[in-house]
Structure 1
Amino acid sequence: MKAEGRAECGGEALFEDPDFPPEDTSLFHDRSTPIARLQADITWRRPQEICQTPALFPDNNNNLGHAKQGLLGDCWFLCACTFLLKNKHLLNKVLPPDQPQWGSSRYRGSFQFCFWQQGHWTNVKIDDLLPCINSTLCFSRCHSPSAFWVALLEKAYAKLHGSYERLWAGQVSEALVDLTGGLAERWSLGVLGSEKEQRPEQDSDQVRRRGLDLNLLYSVKDELAISCSTHSSPGGASELGQYHALSVMEWLDVKTLSGSEALLLRIRNPWGRCSWVGAWTESGSGWSSIDRASALELQSRVTEGEFWLDETEFMTLFDDVTVGFPISEDGHLKSIYTGNLLTHNHHTAGRWMKGHSAGGSRNSSSYSSNPKYWFKVCERGEVLVSLIQHRKWRHTEKYAQTPLENGDNTKHQHYQAIALHMWKVEKKRFNLSRMLNKPPCASTHCHAYEREVILHGQLEPGYYLLIPSTYQPGAEAHFLIRVFASSSTSLCALKSPAPSLPLTIDGEWETSFFRGSWVEGTTAGGSRNFPSYLQNPCFPFTVSAESTETAGVNVTVTLHQSRPDTDLHPIGFHMYKNHKVSPEQTFPRDKDLVASCVPHCYTQDVSLTCCLSAGAYTIVPSTYQPDCPADFTLSLARKIHRKVVKSQEMLGRTIQEISHISVMQS
C-alpha cells in the first residue's frame, strides 16, 4: 500500500500523523469486513492530488455538501453528519472554523476536529492523506467532488475508534451524541409488544416498547435530527438490504384534492440514489391526489439520493427511528417532548466493578450493591436522566468470524445490558432494603444492549435515589450519568456509610464479636432459597428488659466477610425470635423471623439496626449461593440501660472516651 502526497509547502514537509499513519493499521482492525479485499488497491492521497481546487465545503450549494457513502459500512455515521449541515453552531464545534486550507500559506496538511466522549470534548488531529482507489476516494465523500469535510471528518472519527474498519456497523444514536454532546433516542416502528422484544434482559419491571408518534415531535420537527433504519428488505426497497440507515430531511402535512391531509416525509439515502418505488416517487400515483403546483414544488426539493413517501409507506418500510434532541446555540438541550430548554445539567462518572459494585438487575439479590446517586429536584420540572456506558472493543480472535451485518450481535459484543431506576425518598435516611422492594417512580423499564439509555419524567421537588445497573451480576463497565432539567437540580454519588450507632446521653452500648466460617459441604448452606440453608452457623443472643425501657433502636448487627474486594461473596443474615422448642428442633423456624438484612450484597460489610423486644434471639448469617467458603465476623451491639458516670476525674473522662470510641468503631 502506497502513501502519496509527501509534498512540501513553503519549504516545510506536510504533516503526517504518526498515531494514525497511512498504513494498514489505520484501515483494519481484524480484517473481518469486506474492505479487507481492497487492501492491495488502496493508496493514500491528499485532496490537492485528487482534484484541482479542493475545499472543505462547496460554494453556494449546501446540498452538494451532503455525505455520500463509499465502500465503508458507516451509513449510521453519515446520517449524523447530515444533522451538522443543518446546524452551523454544531458544525463549528466539531470542525473549528478558520483552519488553514489548501492554497493558504498557513496550510501544513493537518486538520483539527472535536468529538464528545464520556462528558468531555476531545480534540483529534489528523493529516489529510485519504484512502483512495485509482485517485478516487474509496470511502465517504461529499456530493461535490471538490469538497472534503466529510472525508476528513470520517478519518478523524476512524482515528478516534482505532481504524476505519471499526466504523463498520453502528448506531446513529451513538454518532449523534459524539457529534453534538446531546441525547438521542431510538423509537420502534414495529409491532408493539412483539415476541422479538421479549428478551431475557427484561427485569421485574413491565417491559414497554416505545412506538413513534410524529405528532409528539411536531413542535420541534425543524430543529431535531431524525434518522430511519431498516433491518430487512420489504417490497419496493430491494436495494436497501439489511441494517441500512437513512436521514429524514423534512416532513409536512399536504392537503389533498379530496380535502383530507397526507403526511409526507422526504428521505435521503447516503448511497446517493433512490431506493424506493412507491406512490410518491417521481412518477408515482400519489402526486395526482394533490394540487399540481404543490406537487411540482415538492418534487423540486428532491436532490440526488432523496425521495418522498407518505406516513403509511414510512411505517411499512422502516423498522425504527432515531431522534436526536435539538441543541440551542447556547449549548442547551431542548426537550423533544415539550420543547422546553433544559438549562440545568450535571454529570458524574462511575463504574460497575465485579465483587464490589456490579450488583446486576433487580432480579439479583446483590442489586443493592450497585452504585447509588442522590438526585435533588428543587422545584417541579422536566427531567431527562441518561446512563451511558463505555464501549468495550471485541477481541480479534473471538469475533473474527462473526458476521457484522447482524446488528444485535454487534451490540452484544460491545456493550453490557444496562438500565436505570429511580425511587423518590422522603428523607435522606431510609431503609434501603425496604425501599428497593417498592416499584421505582421512574425507570428505563428493561435492560438493553445499548450504549445509552434514557429516563424521562416530570418530577416533583424532593430527593430521589438513582441506581444504574447491568443485567448480569459481576458485569464490569465504566459509565456516565447525565442529568438535563428545566429547573434547578443537584447530583452526587451516595457514599455507603460505615455502620453507626446512636449515641444517647442516658445510656451506653456494649459490643460483642462472634467469629465463624462458611465451610463448603458443611456450614456454607446459602440463602433461604436452598434446602441447605439449615446448615448455616447460628449465633444466639439475648435482649434484656432494661434495654427496652426507652424507645428507639437497641440492637445493631454487622456481618463482615474476610475476603478481598475482588473476590467477595454476596452476604446477608436473618434474625429469629427463640421460643421453647422440642429437643429435636435445633434451627429457628420461619414463622419466628423478626428481621432480615437482605438482599445479599457483594460487599465487605452488611449491617442492620433495629428495635427488639426483650427475649432470646438467633442470628443466621449466610452467603447467597451454597458452598461459598469464607471466614466472617459478626458484631452485635446492644444498648445497655446504665447511666453514664459524669466524673470530673481524668480516669472517668478516659473511660467515657474509650466507651465512645468503641461505639464509633463498631
Structure 2
Amino acid sequence: MPPPTRGLFVDPEFPPCVSSLVQRGGTPLSPLCDHITWLRPQEICASPRLFPENARLGIGKQGILGDCWFICACFALHKSQKLLHQVFPPAQCTWNEPGYTGCFTCRFWRFGHWVDVTVDDCLPCLGQKLCFSHCEDQGAFWLPLLEKAYAKLHGCYESLWAGQVVDALVDLTGGLVERWSLEDAEDIDRNKMLCRMLDLKNRCAISCSVLHSKEGAGDLGEFHAFTITDIQHGVTKDGQQLILIRVHNPWGRSCWSGAWGRDGDKWALVSKSDSAKFLYDLQDGEFWVEKEEFLQEFNEVTMAFPVDEMEYIQSIWTDCPLLHTQQLYGSWVKGQTAGGSRNNVSFPDNPKFWFVVREQSELYLALMQRPQSGISSADGTHRSQSRSVILKSTPLYAIGLHVWKVEKRRFNLQKTIQSPVVAGTASHSYDRQLHLHCELSPGYYLVIPSTFLRDTEGDFLLRILSSGPITLSEITSNQPKIKTSEDDVKGTWETREVKGQWKKDVNAGGSRNYPSYCLNPTIPFIVPSKAQLMRVTLKQHCQEKHCHAIGFHVYMDPSDRSLSPFVQEPRASCVPHSYSHEVSMMCDLSPGQYIIVPSTYLPNQECDFSVSISTKMERKSIESQETLGKILNEVSVVKMMK
C-alpha cells in the first residue's frame, strides 16, 4: 500500500489535469490524455529519491512526449554540481524526510535573469509508470520534476513537443551555446571542432542531432537529438589511431547497428581488453561510433560553454574566463525603431548601443529575442533560416547583429554603417539567441541589433561577455543625436503606395541593357512646389530564395504625350540592380510631373511589387489632442438572435 498523500501541496496554477497536458491539441499527446493519471513518486515506487547513487543511472530517457531536445540539454546538470544546485536548489524536503509537503522548486534562466518555478510532485503516468521523461534509475525523480517545472514555464507539457537543444541549454545554464553544422564545415573545421569536444567533454554538455535521414548502418530516426556522453582515443592492433564517440539515444533503446555498435565487426580491430573497456557499463540506448561514421551520420553538434569554479563562463575556444558581463534590454517598435536589415534605408532607425573596450579583449556579443507564445507540431531539434529544415513553428523572427569601430562618440552614421563591420552575423537567422565571437582592441564600438524585415516588433536582450573590462550603454535622445539627411529638414511625410506586377511577355522588360525595357510598368507622380525631399522605395513581394535583382529609374514626364520618356536620361536612378526585398533612394527633384519605371535586371522575371513615394512637405505636424475612448463591448451573434 502506498503511503497516504492527503494534505500535500497541489499546484493551483498547474494542476494535475488535462489543461496542464495539452491546450491547443494537434500533437500525438492529445488522444492519450484520457488515459493519463497523476501519481506522486511514493505511489509509483517504494523508495523514491531525487538522485541516483550512481550518476550514470541519472541519464535521461524520453517517454511519449517529443522533448528529446530538453532531455539532452539536462545532461549539462551532470557536468557541474554548482549548476545542478542552481537549477535544482538543494535542501528541499523529499519523500522520507520531515517537512515534506509535496512541492519542489526549480530555476530557469529566462530572458536575462533566473526565475523560480514551483510545482507539486504529481506526475503524469500510464498505469503505474511515468509516461514522460524518467531516469535510467526509475527510482530517481529529479528529471521528471524538472520536466514538469519546464512544462509549467511553457504553459503545458504539449508545448515541449519539439524544440532546440540550444534553447534548453541556455535556459538551464544562463550561458552561451555553440552550434556547429557538420554538413557545411570543411575538414579543418571539423577537426578543430572534434579537438574542442575532446578537451571539453568532462566540463560541458555536448549534444548531436540528426535533421534528415541518411543512408547508413543505423536507424537514427529523423529530427532527433542525442547526447554525447563520452569521447575517447583508441588504438587498433596495427597501431592506427581512433577517435570513438559514445552517443546516448534518449529513446533508451538500441538504434545503431554500425561497425562500432555493440555487436559491430570493427571491435575485432582492437584488443579484447580495449573492447571490453569500451563496452563495459553501456546504458540502454548508448552506442559507440567512430569519427568518420559520426561525421557521416549526424548533421549538427551543440555544445554549452563551460563554467569554471568561480562560476564564470569560459570561452569555448580559448578557455579564457569571461570575467566581465554587461546587458541591456531593448525593443524594435514599428514606425520608430524597427528599421529592418541593412537592405533597408531605414536600418539606421534600429536601436543603437555604445560599448567601450578598455583593453585588448576576447568578447562574445549575444542577442536574444523574446519569443511570442506558440506551440509546435513536430518533434525536432533545430530551426534555421539557412540550414536544414524548419521544425518548430515558434513565432521567432530572423535577427542579426553588427558591430563597427568608431574613432569618437560623434560620427557620421550613414558613412559608418556603409563601412565594413568588425564583427557581424553572416545572415539574419531564426534563432532565439545568437552570438558573435571577436577579439577587439581598445576603443569605441557601435552595435546595432536588427530584424530582417522592417516594422517587425519585438523585445530583445543584448549581452556582452568579455575577458577585459567593458562599458555598455544605449544611445538615447539624451545623448548626441545622430541625424540622417532626411532628419535635417523639418516637415511631415506624405506617402503614396502603388502596387503592380511584372508579367512574362507582357511588361517584364528587364533593365535598360535590353530593348524590351520600354515595356516595364510606369508610375506617374507629381512633385509639388512645397516638397522638400522625395524618397522612392521599391519592394518585391517574393520568397527570400526567389529574390530578383531590382532597381528603378525616374524620368521627367514629357508634356507631349506622343514622345517617349525613355529618349531622355533619367533624373534619378536606383542602380545597380540589387538582390534585395527592398531598394530605396532619396531624390532631389524640382517641382513637376515625373514617372517611375521599376524593373528587374533580366527580362521576363515575374513578381509582384509595390512602389512607395514619400514626400516631405513644408508644414507643421499636427499635435493630436485625442484620448483613448471607452472599450466597446462586443455583442454575440447568439444574443442578437435571441
Q: Normalising by structure 1, what TM-score?
A: 0.73
Aligned equivalent of 2:401, options 409, 420, 426: 420
Matched, 1:152 2:128: no
The answer (yes or no) to whether the contact 2:534–2:616 under 8 Å persists in 1 is no
Aligned counterpart for 1:234 among listed residues 190, 204, 214: 214
1:88 pairs with 2:81:
yes
Offset from partner CA, 1:445-473 (integer Å, 9 cap, x none): 11111111110011111111111111111
3-state SS in 2 of match to 1:435: helix
Q: Does 2:20 match 1:26?
A: yes
In the alignment, which residue of structure 2 is the partner of 1:349?
A: 329
1:393 matches 2:406: no
| Residue in 2 that maps onto 1:441 | 422
1:412 to 1:437, Cα distance in 2 relative to 1, 3 A = farther
* Residue of 472, 488, 501 corresponding to 2:469: 488
Task: Specify whether residues 458 and 227 from structure 1 end up closer, same or farther in structure 2 by C-alpha distance, changes over 3 A only.
Answer: same
Q: Report the secondary structure of 2:74's partner residue.
A: helix
Q: Which of residues 412, 417, 430 is equivalent to 2:411?
A: 430
Mapped contact 2:372–2:395 kept (Cα < 8 A): yes
Q: Which segments of 5 or more consecutive residues in structure 1 lack a partner in the other structure?
A: 194-208, 503-511, 523-529, 542-556, 560-584, 592-599, 608-615, 636-666
Amino acid at match of 2:333: M
2:199 aligns with 219
For 1:655, the equivalent position in structure 2 comes to: none
Corresponding residue for 1:299? 279
Matches within 5 A, 1:565-584: none
How much identity, in percent, do the aligned residues show? 41
Structure 2 CA distance for partners of 1:333 and 1:405, relative to 1, 3 Å: closer
User: Pairwise CA RMSD of aligned residues?
Assistant: 3.7
Unaligned 5+ runs, structure 2: 383-388, 499-520, 536-564, 574-581, 599-609, 621-642
Question: Do the aligned partners of residues 521 and 410 (structure 1) sit closer, same or farther apart at CA in structure 2, a change above 3 Å counting?
Answer: closer
After TM superposition, list the pairs within 5 Å mapping 1:419-568 onto structure 2.
419-496=400-477, 518=494, 520=496, 535-537=526-528
SS across alignment from 1:535: strand
Q: Given residue 495 of structure 1, which amino acid in structure 2 is its aligned partner? A: T
- 344, 352, 357: which one pairs with 1:372? 352
Classify 1:514/1:93 alpha carbon distance in 2 versus 1 (closer, same or farther; 3 Å). Answer: closer
Whether the 8 Å contact between 1:71 and 1:138 is mirrored in structure 2 is yes
Q: Distance in 2 between matches of 1:21 and 1:540?
A: 64
2:558 aligns with: none
Taking a change above 3 Å as real, the CA distance of residues 292 and 491 of structure 1, as seen in their structure-2 partners, is: same
Query: 1:130 Cα shift?
Result: 0.5
Query: Conserved in 2, the CA contact under 8 Å of 1:5 and 1:45?
Result: no
Asked if the contact 2:8–2:102 (Cα under 8 Å) also holds between the matched residues in 1, the reply is yes
Is the Cα–Cα contact under 8 Å of residues 424 and 441 in structure 1 kept in the other structure? yes
Cα deviations by residue, 1:175-227 (Å, 9 ceiling, x for unpaired): 1110010111211011459xxxxxxxxxxxxxxx9997212444333212210
C-alpha distance in 1 between matches for 2:616 and 2:416: 30
Match of 2:5 in 1: 7
Task: Tell me, yes or no, if the aligned pair for 1:72 and 1:139 is still in contact at 8 Å.
Answer: yes
C-alpha spacing 1:18/1:514, structure 2 compared with 1 (3 Å) = closer
Deviation by residue 1:558-607 (Cα, 9 ceiling, x = unmatched): 99xxxxxxxxxxxxxxxxxxxxxxxxx9x99559xxxxxxxx999xxxx9
Letter in 2 for 1:386: A
Partner of 1:253: 233
Structure 2 distance, partners of 1:264, 1:519, is 63
Work out whether residues 359 and 601 of structure 1, in 8 Å CA contact, stay in contact via their aligned partners in 2: no
User: Secondary structure at 1:26's aligned position in 2?
Assistant: helix
Q: CA deviation at 1:250?
A: 1.6
Inter-partner Cα distance in structure 1 for 2:218 and 2:97: 46
- Cα distance change on mapping 1:429 and 1:537 into 2, 3 Å: farther
1:68 touches 1:271 (CA, 8 Å); kept in 2? yes
The 3-state SS of whatever aligns with 2:336 is coil
Partner Cα distance (2:126, 2:71) in 1: 20
Superimposed CA distance per residue, residues 472-523 of structure 1 (whole angstroms, 9 cap, x where no aligned partner): 1111111111111111111111114688799xxxxxxxxx99757637489x
Distance 1:67 1:513, change over 3 A: closer
| 1:228–1:320 contact (8 Å) kept in structure 2 | yes
Deviations 1:111-160 (A, max 9, x none): 01100001100000000000111111110011112111011000000000
The answer to whether the 8 Å contact 1:15/1:127 transfers is yes
* Shift of residue 252, structure 1, vs aligned partner: 2.3
SS of match in other structure, 1:63: helix
Q: Equivalent residue of 2:303, what SS? A: strand
Larger radius of gyration between Structure 1 and Structure 2: 1
Residues 324/538 of structure 1: CA separation in 2 closer, same or farther (3 Å cut): farther
Partner Cα distance (1:81, 1:487) in 2: 31
Distance 2:14 2:252 in 1: 29
Q: 1:432 to 1:500 in 2, by over 3 A?
A: closer
Name which of 320, 336, 343 aligns with 2:300: 320
Q: What is the alpha-carbon distance in structure 2 between the residues aligned to residue 224 and residue 61 of structure 1?
A: 19
Contact 2:326 2:471 in 1 (8 A): yes
Q: CA deviation at 1:236?
A: 4.6
CA contact (8 A) 2:327 2:463 kept: yes
Whole-angstrom distance in 2 between the partners of 1:331 and 1:217? 21
Relative to 1, partners in 2 of residues 1:437 and 1:6: Cα closer, same or farther, differing over 3 Å? farther
Say if 1:601 and 1:302 are closer, same or farther in 2 by CA, change over 3 A: same
Distance 1:488 1:91, change over 3 A: same
Report if the CA contact (8 A) 1:100-1:107 is conserved: yes
| Distance in 2 of aligned mates of 1:513 and 1:309 | 66
Q: Distance in 2 between matches of 1:221 and 1:157?
A: 26
Among residues 68, 74, 78, which one is paired with 2:61 in the alignment?
Answer: 68
Distance 2:530 2:316 in 1: 58
| Cα distance change on mapping 1:252 and 1:403 into 2, 3 Å | closer
Residue type at the aligned position of 1:458: E
Q: Which amino acid aligns with 2:527?
A: N
Q: Deviations over 1:636-659 (max 9, x none)?
A: xxxxxxxxxxxxxxxxxxxxxxxx
| Deviation per residue, 1:614-641 (Å, 9 max, x gap) | xx99799x9x975567874479xxxxxx
The answer to whether the Cα contact below 8 Å between 2:48 and 2:141 also exists between their aligned partners in 1 is yes
Letter paired with 2:395: H
1:142 aligns with 2:135: yes
TM-score (norm 2): 0.75
2:116 corresponds to which residue? 123
Q: Helix, strand or coil: the match of 2:172? A: helix
Counterpart secondary structure, 1:424: strand
Residue 43 of structure 1 corresponds to: 37
- The counterpart of 1:179, out of the listed 146, 155, 172, is 172
Cα shift at 1:301: 4.2
Match of 2:262 in 1: 282
The letter for the 2-side match of 1:162 is G
Instruction: Give the counterpart letter for 1:50 in structure 2.
Output: I
Between the aligned partners of 1:492 and 1:234, the Cα distance in structure 2 is 48
Give the conservation status (yes or no) of the 8 Å contact 1:35–1:72.
Answer: yes
Q: In the TM superposition, what is the alpha-carbon distance from 1:394 to its structure 2 partner?
A: 2.9
